[in-house]
Structure 1
Amino acid sequence: MSLKPRIVNFEETWGRLLETVQSVIQLGDIKRGTWSDRFSDVYALCVAFPEPHSERLYNVTKLFLEEHVDNLRKQVAGAGESLLSQYHRFWQQYSKGAAYMDQLYSYLNQHIRKQKMSEADRNFGAFTDTIEEQLMDIGELALDIWKRLMIRPLDKCLQELLLREMLKDRAGDDTQHTVLHSVINSLVEVEQYKKKQQLKLYQDLFEIKCLEQTGAFYRKESARLLQDHDCSQYMGKVLQRLQEEQLRSRKFLHPSSYHRVLEECQKRMVADHMSLLHSECRTMVRKEQRQDLSRMYELLKPITSGLSIMVEELEAHIIDSGRQAIAGLHGDNIPAQFVEAMLSLHIKFSEMITTVFNKDQLFTKSLDMACSSVVNKKLSSKHNSCRSPELLARHCDALLKKSSKGSSESELDDRLGQCILVFRYIDDKDIFQRFYARMLAKRLIHGLSTSMDAEESMINKLKQACGYEFTNKLHRMFTDMGVSDDLNNKFAKFSQEKETDLGINFSIYVLTTGSWPLGQSALTPFAISQELEKSVRMFEIFYSEKFPGRKLTWLHHLCTGELKLNYLKKPYIVTTTTFQMAVLLMFNNQDTVQYSELINSSLINEKELSKTVQSLIDTKFIEQNHEGPITENTSFTLNLLYSNKRTKFKITTAVQRDPPQQEVEQTHNAVDEDRKLYLQAAIVRIMKARKKLRHNILIQEVISQARSRFSPSVSMIKKCIEALIDKQYLERTTKADEYAYVA
């Protein structure tokens, strides 16, 4: 075939081409050679000499397609009840034939595209031609003709029949699925060549009416279902209908309609009956009807604000369940019961949120808020604090003590991790920190820790939860223990260098005053026993040489010592407090000692001394010579018949402990003082940065800064502001309710 332009007889060439085009549009059989010849004919017409026949070819092809589609329309219109089937059959044939024609006319299409204006030209008016005057590719032309001559004249009829078939399918009657899908999607396919508004015909002709029909159908359906079923059954039926409608949409409709149809169903069957569902929600939550709650969640989730009532009811139920569990605690081991109750509550409802509510963040947040409410409930209106921080600290203390039996390192670490879970819900974290520090100090000083690794692990967990500042003092307590070990080694070398024999094994802990919650309120005058005096004096000399300027304060009430009892049938090694040891050493040279002698020699105050003596009487180491209250004239005799199954044991250290209530009060008082200092420091920081600030804004800023440690009361913040004004850190300005920082 020559590619050179030549003179072409249009009528003769079009006659041959028309015969092939008629066969193509009807999907007839065409030989390969014939197809190639007709392809050449199209090319020849487009490049004919002296003038191309491309425009004429376009016009006659357009006329042929219009006549063909008009003829098909007449057949479809006269098909009666089988109109959709006839339309489907002709559309399948025509759309495929049009695609083949588009390939046959590919050279003409290239010629047309060169003449088409660009999108920029259309937008900015480079040409005056209208879009309708623009030539289309043959494939586009065929689809446009189908839309104009087939769909537009039959639009009302097609719409009515399509909606009727959709209604039949919803009612469960047989429908022609393939036909329905083909006809509906033809409304989209005929405009697929457009760059914009490709779905306009589909939406105007079918989708809008389909949504109206869907809404009307499910409005009636929901009313019928509510009349025949209770709420639980209704939700099951609605979910079934929604699932059916989703499948129906995917069988028949364009993907753009899926969510619109589903949304319409949800409006009519769920949103219109929200009051009913919400009224049943409370009962379902209280009875923990998981299947019904799962259904309700699935129905309400897509609705705007649909889950709000459900979330509130679940939160209230968790709070009630938690408070009932906490109120029922009784017996000796209340701290462990408290932690177990909170963990059980959290595990139970976490599992419920996972399985029923698909880990929805709204419900997870409600669980956190409910647990926080349970943990931070005040004991009564008279008490400004709750017991949770104290109980959790005591539980941690029990876990970390040597007496905690039957736990491997991994089990202990898991339990401590569970404690951190409860700890995160506590508002007054500073109270927990104070109790925990006191108990940690006792464990470290008296060697009661089950494992130093476990202690450090717990502190690191607290650090991750609250930051370095929260655990700073706890870390320094550990540091002091390590430094003390080093000091003991150096003191031993110092004693050897001085060629001094202390006569006893002597070790000390040097503790930083600001890091340890020991205080000095419990200090009592004490005259060190002669046996210990040399060791104490030597250590003071050693320490003053090594750290000149530092002052040592001896906390004798926390010291312990070991005595070997040689006066009995068999020797015993007994661990005692320093005060108990001082009393027992008085019997080294005599078997009977008067109470007045003990007072004069030990200088211990009478209250502490009487407790110490009573502990030795209770353990039968000494005997009181006559019954009645202890007075200065009371004498005590060493019990020479004492015996014990163990050869090494410890005398009870109950005298070291404060009464529980007194210890709690002391801790809370210390926390209150710490809070005042913390709030004053926060106020100064804020005012130093802002210079001037109104009262309410300052209150909010302080609360925001303190929230990580505790929830400060507004009255306490006001008192701190007044204290800072008195100290001349702040001053009131001429404006009402405004403060200024005094540099």
Structure 2
Amino acid sequence: MSLKPRKVDFDATWTTLLETVKGVVTCAKVDRATWNDRFSDVYALCVACPDPLSDRLYTETKKFLENHVSTLFQKVQGNGEENCLSTYHKHWEEYSKGSGYLNQLYGYLNTTYIKKQKYTDADLSYGGISTDTADQLLEIGELALDTWKRLMIEPLKETLLKLILNEVARDRVGELVNQTVVHGVINSFVNVQEYKRKHPLMLYEELLETPYKLETGAHYRQEAAKLKDEHSCSDYMEKVITRLDNEDFRSRKFLHPSSYNKITHECQQRMVADHLQFLHGECKDMVKQERRRDLSNMYKLLKPIHGGLGVLIQEVEGHIKQTGLEAVKSLKGDNVPGQFVESMLEVHQKYTELIQGVFHSDQQFVGALDKACAAAINFKQSAKHLCKSPEMLSKYCDNLLKKSSKGVSESEMDDKLSNCITVFKYLDDKDVFQRFYSRMLAKRLIYGQSASMDAEEAMINKLKQACGYEFTNKLHRMFTDVSISTSLNKEFLDFIQSKENVELGVNFSIMVLQAGAWPIGQSNLPSFSIPQELEKSVQMFEAFYNVKYSGRKLTWLHNFCSAELKFNHLKRPYFVTMGSFQMAILLLFNSSDILTFHDIRENTNLPEKELIKQLQTLIDTKIVSTEGEVTSCSCISLNLGYTNKRTKFKITTAIQKDSSQEVEQTHNAVEEDRKMYLQAAIVRIMKARKILKHAMLIQEVISQSRARFAPSVPMIKKCIESLIDKSYLERTANSSDEYSYIA
């Protein structure tokens, strides 16, 4: 074949080409040689000289296609309405495939003649040109589809729509329907405009989707009313879910994917959104009775509806809150902290599992669980009462971490500590918990009561993850002091051994604690004269420490010290651990079996009130005795007939027992800490902002403090006034509710 342009007889060439075109469009057999020759004919017509014949070829091809589609239209109409869909589908399948082949045959015409006259993407996007401009030429494949649309679909659209909707209605009642035919006919509305760059689905949406959606909505409006009248809410939900699943499957059988969600949404609107009041009215009983299947169905139906879940979420939150309050209100007995934590964990675990299983861990329901648990855990009898939860949680942790908690494996301990953090995260007053926890940790470390130092450290690390390093800074320093003290004791022992002719006479160990890290008050320490047996040890340690750390001052906290005495005055020896004040009293009985209150006070130098308390403890344990109550005139005698089943035991010191006074002191300390924290926050904010309105300042302070505690507005106002008095802030001249930073 020569590529050189030549003179061509159009009529003769077109007559030959037309036979092949008819064969291609009807999907008849066309030999490869014939195909190649006709391809050459198209090329020859497009490059003919003296003038190309492309325009005439396009016109004749368009005329043929119009005649061919008109003939097919007559055949579809002639087969009767009952066979209309199947006949249409048969001819469409053939025609659409043939038009694709025809587009290939006219490839050169499309490339050289039609595409050059087409608008570019830039023209369409920015030139304000419509894609449906009448004078724009279409490629031959596009022309074939456009012809089908004009001469087949447009005249038949009402008939086709009616027949399609009838077939869908039959499918809804379970009758057999030719799915391939219905889907194929519907798909033709899409395929016939696929070539369009803008709005290729417009014909499909206008011709089928919109009326299909309206018909579906009307059908399910009636269906919902019928089901609601005949069934309970539980059965109604089951049947609605079945209908929705069936309709979704039906959409996938017949419709274009772009319609799936639209049809499903229409069904949901008619069967769920239109009956929200009915469904919401049943939520309360379902939640109260925890009917999991019904709740799962309710969630499934309400989730896609805008604002549908609100009532269900409120009911779930209210139910969990009520359950939590009932669990913590009626706590009685010895182990109230344990009951409190375990009851709340049980509630939390139960409803976490319910939210995971029924509501698929939906964040809105997880948020409802968090709010409900926080409300129950931070519950107060009244505004005047303090919340007991931080104190109870710290006591639970204390009981867990003490040596008394026997039979708990390492993994169980870790699980229990993690559970403590679960409750801790819901506390509003985390600073109160910190105060109680640090005080109890101090006692465990000082008196060696910790079951496991690894567990202690693990708990502090969990608290640090929950609240940050600042929250646990002092707790870490307490641990550091304990380890440093261990090293100090070894160094002190080496120091004693290096001295010639120095014998302490007792086993002596010491703990050196940083004043700022430990929650131990150094004010109001009782006066005390240490026994002669310990004077040398104390002097030697002070000498050793002053050499090692010059400039540091040691303050001895004898009320926290303990000692082990061996009783040799009884029938059998006893090893008794006690506080240093009790030890000092009992050592006096080495020289006499009976001592007056005055003698004991003179030798120990203890205040009268403290001495009475310590003597009463010894009398209660029957190691010493006196007649009547202990007074300043009492005579104290050693009980030489004392017996005990255990040869090794401990006398609990008074300071190790929690008292209401200590609890009150802790709360007072927290109150003072809060004032300082709020003042620091206010200064920090004002330093950055310079000028700020009162309401904005209050809001920012609350925002910064929320992670630690929930501050009250009156307390913030007092702190602002205090800072104004200290000349950190001042009210601006323009407004009384605006502050400026002046420090």
TM range (shorter): over 0.9
1:361 to 2:363 alignment: yes
Q: Deviations over 1:578-602 (max 9, x none)?
A: 1111111111111211222111111
SS of the residue aligned with 1:561? strand
Report the Cα offset of residue 696 of structure 1: 1.7
3-state DSSP of counterpart to 1:679: helix
Q: 2:147 aligns with which of 145, 148, 152?
A: 145
Q: Which residue does the alignment assign to 1:633?
A: 633
Deviation at 1:123, TM superposition (A): 6.3
Deviations 1:343-400 (A, max 9, x none): 11111111111111111111111111111111111133331x2111011101111111
2:559 maps to 1:557: yes
Q: Secondary structure at the match of 1:712?
A: coil
Structure-2 change in CA distance of 1:128 and 1:320 (3 Å): closer
In structure 2, the CA distance between the partners of 1:575 and 1:92, relative to structure 1 (3 Å rule), is same
In structure 2, C-alpha distance between the alignment counterparts of 1:110 and 1:741, rounded to whole Å: 76
Secondary structure of 1:172's counterpart equals coil
SS in 2 for 1:184: helix
Q: How does 1:220-299 map to 2 (within 5 A)?
A: 220-299=222-301
Partner of residue 389, structure 1: 390
Counterpart position of 1:338: 340
The equivalent of 2:476 in structure 1 is 475
C-alpha spacing 1:210/1:54, structure 2 compared with 1 (3 Å)? same
Matched residue, 1:577: 579
Question: Do residues 445 (structure 1) and 446 (structure 2) align?
Answer: yes
Q: Please tell me the residue identity of whatever aligns with 2:447.
A: H
Tell me what 2:81 maps to: 80
Superposed displacement of residue 75, structure 1: 1.9
1:148-187 maps to which residues of 2 (within 5 A)?
Answer: 148-187=150-189
Give me the whole-angstrom Cα distance separating, in 1, the residues matched to 2:610 and 2:189. 99
Q: What is the identity, as a one-letter code, of the residue corresponding to 1:370? A: A
Q: Distance in 2 between matches of 1:723 and 1:128?
A: 72
Distance 2:706 2:510 in 1: 39
Matched residues in 1 for 2:130 and 2:579: separation? 109
Query: Which deviates the most, 221-230 or 41-50?
Result: 41-50
Which ranges in structure 2 are unaligned for 5 or more consecutive residues? none
Tell me if the contact between 1:112 and 1:137 (Cα under 8 Å) persists in the aligned partners: no
Q: How does 1:25-424 map to 2 (within 5 A)?
A: 25-78=25-78, 79-119=80-120, 120-121=122-123, 131-383=133-385, 385-424=386-425
- Distance in 1 separating the partners of 2:128 and 2:260: 40
Greater mean alpha carbon deviation, residues 325-334 or residues 45-54: 45-54
Residues in 2 aligned to 1:355 and 1:224: alpha-carbon distance in whole angstroms: 31
Name the residue aligned to 2:606.
604
Which residue of structure 1 lines up, in the alignment, with residue 491 of structure 2? 490
Q: C-alpha distance in 2, partners of 1:71/1:139? A: 19
Contact 1:112 1:136 in 2 (8 A): no
8 Å CA contact 2:341–2:423 kept in 1: the answer is: yes
Q: Which moved more, 1:688-697 or 1:89-98?
A: 688-697
- Structure 1, unaligned stretches of length 5 or more? none
Cα separation, 1, equivalents of 2:652 and 2:684: 48
AA partner of residue 728 (structure 1): S
In structure 1, what is the Cα distance between the partners aligned to 2:701 and 2:20?
Answer: 88
Structure 2 distance, partners of 1:180, 1:602, is 106
- DSSP-derived class of the 1:153 partner: helix
Name the CA distance, whole Å, in 2 between partners of 1:252 and 1:162: 10
* 3-state DSSP of counterpart to 1:154: helix
Q: CA, structure 1 residues 121+317, in 2 after alignment: closer, same or farther (shift >3 Å)?
A: closer
| Other-structure match for 1:434 | 435
Cα distance 1:53–1:425, how it changes in 2: closer, same or farther (>3 A)? same
CA distance in 2, matches of 1:730, 1:53: 91
**Residue 342 (structure 1) shift:** 1.2
Equivalent AA in structure 1 for residue 442 of structure 2:
A
2: distance between equivalents of 1:595 and 1:659? Answer: 27
1:246–1:652 distance in 2 versus 1, CA, 3 Å:
same
SS in 1 for 2:384: coil
Which residue in the other structure is 2:665 paired with?
A: 666
- What secondary structure, in the 3-state scheme, does the structure 2 residue paired with 1:132 have? coil
SS at match of 1:564: strand
- Partner SS for 1:152: helix
Q: 1:527 Cα shift?
A: 1.3
- Quote the Cα distance in structure 1 between the aligned partners of 2:129 and 2:387: 81
How do 1:640-659 and structure 2 match up within 5 A? Answer: 640-653=640-653, 655-659=654-658
Matched to 1:656, the amino acid is I
Q: By how many angstroms is 1:114 displaced?
A: 4.6
Deviations 1:498-537 (A, max 9, x none): 4332211111111111211111356211111111122222
Q: Name whichever of 387-396 and 691-700 sits farther off.
A: 691-700
The aligned residue for residue 684 of structure 1 is 683
Match in the other structure for 1:458: 459
CA contact (8 A) 1:219 1:269 kept: yes
Aligned to 1:649, the other structure's residue is in SS state: strand
Q: AA paired with 2:277?
A: S
| Residues in 2 aligned to 1:126 and 1:717: alpha-carbon distance in whole angstroms | 62
Once the 2 structures are TM-superposed, how far is the Cα of residue 252 of structure 1 from its aligned partner?
A: 0.8
Q: 1:7 to 1:718 in 2, by over 3 A?
A: closer
Letter in 1 for 2:602: N
Question: Displacement of 1:484 after TM fit?
Answer: 1.6
The letter of the residue matching 1:328 is S
Distance across 2 between alignment mates of 1:55 and 1:575 = 116
1:592 maps to 594
Contact 1:112/1:135 (<8 A) preserved: no
For each residue in 1:642-677, what CA deviation from the matched residue of structure 2 results, as whole angstroms up to 9, or x when unmatched? 333433322233x22355322221211111111111
Q: Find the aligned partners of 2:34 and 2:518 in 1 and give their Cα distance.
A: 103
How many corresponding residue pairs?
A: 739
TM-score in terms of structure 1 length: 0.96
> Deviation string for 1:300-349 (max 9, x for gaps)?
11111111111111111100000011112221111111111111111111
Question: Which region of structure 1 is more displaced relative to structure 2, 72-81 or 213-222?
Answer: 72-81
Q: CA deviation at 1:488?
A: 2.1
Once the 2 structures are TM-superposed, how far is the Cα of residue 129 of structure 1 from its aligned partner?
13
TM-score, reference length from structure 2: 0.96
Using a 3 Å threshold, how does the CA distance of structure 1 residues 36 and 736 change in structure 2: closer, same or farther?
same
Kindly state the Cα deviation for residue 125 of structure 1 after the two structures are TM-superposed.
6.7
Query: How many Å separate the matches in 1 of 2:595 and 2:50?
Result: 144
Distance 1:35 1:220, change over 3 A: same
Q: Deviations over 1:190-220 (max 9, x none)?
A: 1111111111111111111111111111111
Tell me the CA shift for residue 80 of structure 1. Answer: 2.4
Query: Match of 1:730?
Result: 729
Matched residues in 1 for 2:565 and 2:370: separation?
54
Q: What is the CA–CA distance in structure 2 between the aligned matches of 1:475 and 1:122, rounded to whole Å?
A: 69
Cα distance change, pair 121–710 in 1 and its aligned pair in 2 (3 A): closer
Separation (CA, whole Å) in 2 of partners of 1:150 and 1:738: 77
CA distance in 2, matches of 1:558, 1:200: 87
- The answer (yes or no) to whether the contact 1:98–1:142 under 8 Å persists in 2 is yes
Equivalent-residue separation in structure 1 for 2:125 and 2:318 (angstroms):
60
Structure 2 counterpart of 1:520, one-letter code: Q
Indicate how the Cα distance of structure 1 residues 167 and 566 shifts in structure 2: closer, same or farther if over 3 A, else same. Answer: same
CA-CA distance at 1:607 after TM superposition = 2.2
What percentage of aligned pairs have identical amino acids?
Answer: 59
Aligned counterparts of 2:46 and 2:594: Cα–Cα separation in 1: 137
| Distance in 1 separating the partners of 2:716 and 2:249 | 62
